[in-house]
Amino acid sequence: QVQLVESGGGLVQAGGSLRLSCAASGHTFTSTAMGWFRQAPGKEREFVAALRWSGSITYYADSVKGRFTISRDNAKNTVYLQMNSLKPEDTAVYYCAASTGYRSSYRYSNVYEYWGQGTQVTVSS
């Protein structure tokens, strides 16, 4: 079994920062990319950021460019999402995901096979 477990969510004031973590455990698998998505009440799941292992290429949604940074710690088998200058519209449940295939784009949820349980991020005004 493969498990992805997010942590680090919480309540923060606008302008503050949070760092989300996604720890992978269980069955070892070869992933091509890791991604972060979020979903607010009444909205569809939205792409936030992704990291492609080959070339260490990163991708960001326009709404978070310059504020969020995706990174990894191979020794800890963990992917991070550093979120700075948080806004109330960033409020959502944040999910990490892993893709094992070669994709033309990692901005879509259907290219990821493994998902975490989500962690709540709430930004107050």
Residue 68 burial (CB count, 10 A): 21
Residue 50, SS3 per DSSP:
strand
* Half-sphere exposure (Cβ direction) of 50: Cα atoms closer than 13 Å: 26
Q: What does the pLDDT look like over 85-116, one tens digit per residue?
A: 999 999 999 999 999 888 889 999 999 999 99
Q: What does the pLDDT look like over 24-74, one tens digit per residue?
A: 887 666 788 999 999 999 999 999 999 998 888 999 999 999 999 999 988
Reading phi first (left if > 0) and then psi (alpha if -120 to 50, else beta), residue 98 is in beta
Q: Are the C-beta atoms of residues 49 and 68 closer than 8 Å to each other?
A: yes
Report the alpha-carbon distance of residue 70 to residue 51 in Å, rounded.
Answer: 7
| pLDDT greater than 80 at residue 5 | yes
Report the alpha-carbon distance of residue 2 to residue 25 in Å, rounded.
Answer: 6
